[in-house]
Amino acid sequence: MSEIAEFTRHLGHYLQAPDVALVERAFAFSEEAHQGQFRKSGEPYITHPLAVASILSQWRLDAQGLAAALLHDVMEDTSVTKTQIETSFGKPVADMVDGVSKLDHIEFQSREDQQAESFRKMLLAMAQDVRVILIKLADRLHNMRTLDAMAATHRERIARETLDIYAPIANRLGLNALFIELQELSFKHLYPMRYRILARAIKAARGNRREVMNRILQSIREGLKLADITAQVTGREKSVYSVYKKMREKHYTFSQVFDIYGVRVLVKDATACYASLGVLHSLYKPIPGKFKDYVAIPKANGYQSLHTTLFGPFGTPLEAQIRTHWLYKTGGELDLSEAQQQTHRWLQSLLEIGSESRDSKEFLEHVKGDLFPDAIYVFTPKGKIMALPRGATAVDFAYAVHTDIGHHCTAARINYELMPLRTELKNGDQVEIITSPTARPNPSWLNFVATGKARSRIRHFLKSLQARESAALGERMLEQALASLKVPPEAITWERWEALTREYGAKSRLDILADIGMGKRLSFVVAQALTRVTGRPGEESTGHTVKPGALQLRGVEGVAIQYGKCCRPIPGDAIIGQFRRGQGLLVHTRECQTLRKSRIETDQAVDVEWAPEIDGVFEAGIRLLVADKRGLLARLATAIADTGANIAYVSMERPDEGPAVNMFFSVQVRDRKHLAQVIRGLHAIAEVKRVQRART
């Protein structure tokens, strides 16, 4: 076919004869494998891998990469195996084909699962070889160019996936032209009517702008020539999608967006970038606050450029980008070694996330959060620059430094001021993380972190922590249930545990104990199941139900045991436990009104009592009526501190215009005796008219 002849002639411009021969062999192999297969458009299937390889040849990809591109669908759509590819073309080519291939041989619950798992494999494969993602991107580009042949529902799904996943990856790798084309094609198929209307409007507007743009380009070229700066100056035309996006985000009209002109200045090095900036600022006045230096502080994807906005002719805004020939050599060849370096750190973080996230959809969610490099740049105390996505918080920064720093962070100093961990960071912030060896991740952090790395690390820690704590609680509850049946725990044989594990379909004894601790299984039911064979020493199990003894609480026990905010139980209170399926044990006071209203089920109720020795502190509420007086709050706080209690929260309200004020303190105490000591201390202050414990 004439297409392959033209393709190989082009390859001869930058590949040696043996390399061209390898590509020709790969084409022949692929053509034979796809014999009799056709695309939705009716064309022979081989036209697709050939088109993908042709796109890659424009980026001057090497012979192995082109061979893999020609073969990228043979494992998915034909009977060809990876071993056959490796035998014929070598291991690197076979690995690339495997990395790009979809996972049809695995059974997934839904198309979404399949997409997520395929994406996971692609990203992990590209961590070893960046050519995998280049082939995948070229494959997606050709599919998008020929998407008209697909049904409308398929077009919409593929276009959405491209806009959400593949276009951002192209941007992340610095492939700007590919990024723009994928966005344009996605927009065209997602919103065809909007695309047509905007495309027509842009075409009409460009004719009116041509004279002004030519004048701008001419003046910049002459100014750079006078300054003896060699540069390539071009007008930057707005894409349909970029116009649409700016109209949506900024709530601009079409004319407002299109009144902005854009130019790109390409120079040889960073020094020439700054010299060119001086020339532009002498030609047109800069608009204050509209300068960004991505040369001194590159973007996360390696992008280095100076951005400035100027007052152009007739007062029209002029956006200028000044940069070097980034990621491309002068002949248009993609510098793969530099591209590999630019993405190495990002891919390493993906590998770490992938090792922790067993769920492919969760992995995809983490990665999508890191694909949009609208980054901010913050500094460590030693001056190291770190790039984070916009919206990142001090917790994201902590995990970006090191997982252990994230796990143990307690607060942050931002620009030398002590700030909460949820504080959103801004460009140029200096951030220092304060840690404590006893601190650990808080589930509430998941509500505000912005990076996939932080989200993944927090979830992984909490899952493993919950499993450990739940298993420890479950073991204690099971021991008490066995004690009520007069069966010592050591009487339960390993074989009986194994039999019960198989019966329950659990992975291990630890899983059963964790299920008990989480309230998924009742301890007494498990105890009875274990004693069906074991029984009491010397006698058969009667199956008679005996109420197990009360579970002793030793204090603040993590995520498996929680204390109700509705009644705030503290040691010394009469208490009862409520099992919530999948959430562990919630402890209430016996007179808790919320518990009474919820009508706790019999199988949810658990007898609990305080252990003789209790660790930790507990939150209790104190409500006061006081006569307002200057300095009173400080005296109240001092009285509480003098008893050794800590204030967790305070609020106040004035019920009317009178001098009396209602106050509420949440204090951390050891037990009821300690709370009584706090209340006596507050009573001693003359302005305190009434003080009582607040249950809610």
Q: DSSP states of 485-522 as a string?
A: TT--GGGS-HHHHHHHHHHHT-S-HHHHHHHHHTTSS-
What is the pLDDT, as a whole number, of residue 677? Answer: 94
> Is it the case that residue 257 has pLDDT exceeding 60?
yes
For the question of whether the overall pTM of this predicted structure is more than 0.85, the answer is: no
- 100-135 pLDDT, tens per residue? 775 333 344 455 555 556 566 656 655 567 788 888
665 token code pair? 């303190």
> Is it the case that residue 9 has pLDDT exceeding 90?
no
Beta carbons within 10 angstroms of residue 259's beta carbon: 16
211 token code pair? 């004279």
Active site residue 469: no
What is the pLDDT, as a whole number, of residue 536? Answer: 44
Q: Which residue has the tokens 């414990």?
A: 693
What is the pLDDT, as a whole number, of residue 127? Answer: 59
Q: Which residue has the tokens 């309200």?
A: 653
Identity at 109, one-letter amino acid code = Q
Contact status, residue 241 vs residue 183, Cβ threshold 8 Å = yes
Q: How confident is the model at residue 366 (pLDDT cuts 50, 70, 90)?
A: low
What does the pLDDT average to over 311-328?
75
> Is it the case that residue 375 has pLDDT exceeding 70?
no
- 264-279 pLDDT, tens per residue? 898 888 888 999 999 9
Q: What share of the chain is helix, strand, coil (3-state, %, to 5)?
A: 50, 20, 30
CA–CA gap between residue 607 and residue 578 (Å, rounded): 9
> Is it the case that residue 26 has pLDDT exceeding 90?
yes
583 token code pair? 């959430």
CA distances from 76 to 33, 83, 104, 159, 192 (A): 11, 14, 7, 22, 31
Q: DSSP states of 163-180 as a string?
A: IIIIHHHHHHTT-HHHHH
Which range has highest mean pLDDT (164-168, 205-209, 480-484, 515-519)? 164-168
Check 19, 31, 76, 113 and give the catalytic one.
76
What is the pLDDT, as a whole number, of residue 538? Answer: 42
What is the pLDDT, as a whole number, of residue 332? Answer: 42
- 162-209 pLDDT, tens per residue? 887 788 878 777 777 899 999 999 999 999 999 999 988 888 777 667
393: helix, strand or coil: strand
Active site residue 77: yes
Domains of the chain (ranges plus CATH)? 2-175 (1.10.3210.10), 194-326 (3.30.460.10), 550-612 (no CATH), 617-694 (3.30.70.260)
CA–CA gap between residue 354 and residue 162 (Å, rounded): 21
What does the pLDDT average to over 381-385?
79
> Is it the case that residue 373 has pLDDT exceeding 60?
no
Check 19, 24, 77, 86 and give the catalytic one.
77
What is the pLDDT, as a whole number, of residue 550? Answer: 66
What is the pLDDT, as a whole number, of residue 261? Answer: 80
What does the pLDDT average to over 518-523?
72
